[in-house]
Amino acid sequence: MRPKSGESYSSINLWDLHVFQVIAERRSTTAAAERLGVTQSAVSQSVARLERWLGTELLDRSCRPIRVTHAGEILKLGAANILQNVRQTAEEVRAGAQGSVPLLRLGLIDSFATTVGHELVKALSHRVEQLQVWSGITPTLTSELLNRSVDVIVSNDPMPAHSELACHCLFREALIAAVPSSQAERFKALSLSEMCADLPLVRFSGRSSLGQAVEYYLGQRKLNPRRVMEFDASEAVLRMVAGGLGWAIATPLCFLQAHPQTLDVAVLPLPPPQAYRRVYLVYRRNELTLIMPDIIRICRDCVEKSILPTARRLAPWETVAWAEDDEASAR
């Protein structure tokens, strides 16, 4: 059904749809008026507005009881679906106002999902009726947030170009060197350029934010190690290192994702100045306003209880920390 020329679908009146639905069920404008508690004239006006808007008759008034036309039968079915959707949405809004959320779609970078995803899901299950969790690399998650496939993401990109979004920095972590354990003592004495010349650099894919961060780090130091191999997954990168095929620039979270206790890999600080990547919680402003403070708190609790202590045991120097006050505040 099309509106008449010059009119918009947004001009349709939900009350008029409800009135028509009652008339179609009762087959009488008088009975419908009594059921709705309005005058028969008001009922007739609602039907007249719909007929003008649709450009067709909805009722056959030549017979008693009133019959619904073919077009009216189509509208009756459509109106039922529309009104049901409106009622369902209203119920979901009221549920949210009472502190529960019917559905939350959460996107997590792989390293965060693997490391603390189970804790995050467990904590949120008390506030969310249905929780859907995706994991992936940052560029994929940012696209899914922008096209509304997900509601909230944990990623490495604060997305500052999008004013409709807000972000909260959860923590920062230093870039660190991953070298074969057998080479650790020798690598401690090498400069960054000597490290690049000594063994191939096993790269993170340029599709990932970490891969891009590493390329920027090397570019700032005018280094361009020969490209030999690159991977999306942290575990694949670190297993190449454990096998003696090269060394890598990674982060503590990548190590935690790859279960470092099973890898013959040593962790070393990179030569100064130290470089960091940050992990952000990104979400749409003015949405999920009742639960977002809880999501932020739960994520920070997971970082404090699981990521920080384990990462500091893995690499005793300061590699993982809360972000500075200005970074940690919501944008």
Residue 70 lies in a domain: yes
CA distance 290 to 29: 44
201 and 228, same domain (yes or no): yes
138 and 224, same domain (yes or no): no
Res 328: pLDDT? 38
56 and 193, same domain (yes or no): no
CATH of the domain at 63: 1.10.10.10
Q: What share of the chain is helix, strand, coil (3-state, %, to 5)?
A: 50, 20, 30
Res 323: pLDDT? 57
- Considering 61, 96, 131, which residue would you say is the last residue of a domain? 96
203 and 160, same domain (yes or no): no
% pLDDT > 70, the chain = 88
Contact 20, 75 (CB under 8 A): yes
Is pLDDT larger for residue 6 or for residue 267?
Answer: 267
185 and 240, same domain (yes or no): yes
Q: Residue 251's domain spans which residues?
A: 176-273
291 and 156, same domain (yes or no): yes
Contact 135, 128 (CB under 8 A): no
Residue 4 lies in a domain: no
Is pLDDT larger for residue 38 or for residue 100?
Answer: 38
Residue 144 lies in a domain: yes
Average pLDDT, the chain: 86
CATH of the domain at 242: 3.40.190.10
- Considering 80, 96, 112, which residue would you say is the last residue of a domain? 96
Is pLDDT larger for residue 73 or for residue 10?
Answer: 73
Res 330: pLDDT? 46
281 and 165, same domain (yes or no): yes
Residue 3 lies in a domain: no
Residue 56 lies in a domain: yes
Crossing angle of helices 40-54/70-97, nearest 10°?
Answer: 100
CA distance 241 to 132: 34
35 and 91, same domain (yes or no): yes
255 and 296, same domain (yes or no): no
Summarised one tens digit per residue, pLDDT across range 233-275 is 888 999 999 999 999 999 989 888 887 677 899 999 998 888 8
How open is the CA angle 8-18-9, to the nearest 5 degrees? 10
Residue 85 lies in a domain: yes
195 and 157, same domain (yes or no): no
* Total domain count, the chain: 3
- Please give the backbone phi and psi of residue 80, each rounded to the nearest 5 degrees, phi first: -60, -45
Residue 307 lies in a domain: no
pLDDT category, 95, cuts 50, 70, 90?
low
Contact 200, 227 (CB under 8 A): no
Query: Which residue in 245, 251, 216 sits closest to 229, CA to CA?
Result: 245
Crossing angle of helices 40-54/14-26, nearest 10°?
Answer: 110
83 and 32, same domain (yes or no): yes
- Considering 74, 96, 118, which residue would you say is the last residue of a domain? 96
pTM of the model: 0.66
135 and 163, same domain (yes or no): yes
pLDDT above 70: residue 8: no
pLDDT above 60: residue 189: yes
Summarised one tens digit per residue, pLDDT across range 51-62 is 988 889 999 888
Residue 287 lies in a domain: yes
Tell me what the mean pLDDT of segment 177-185 comes to: 93
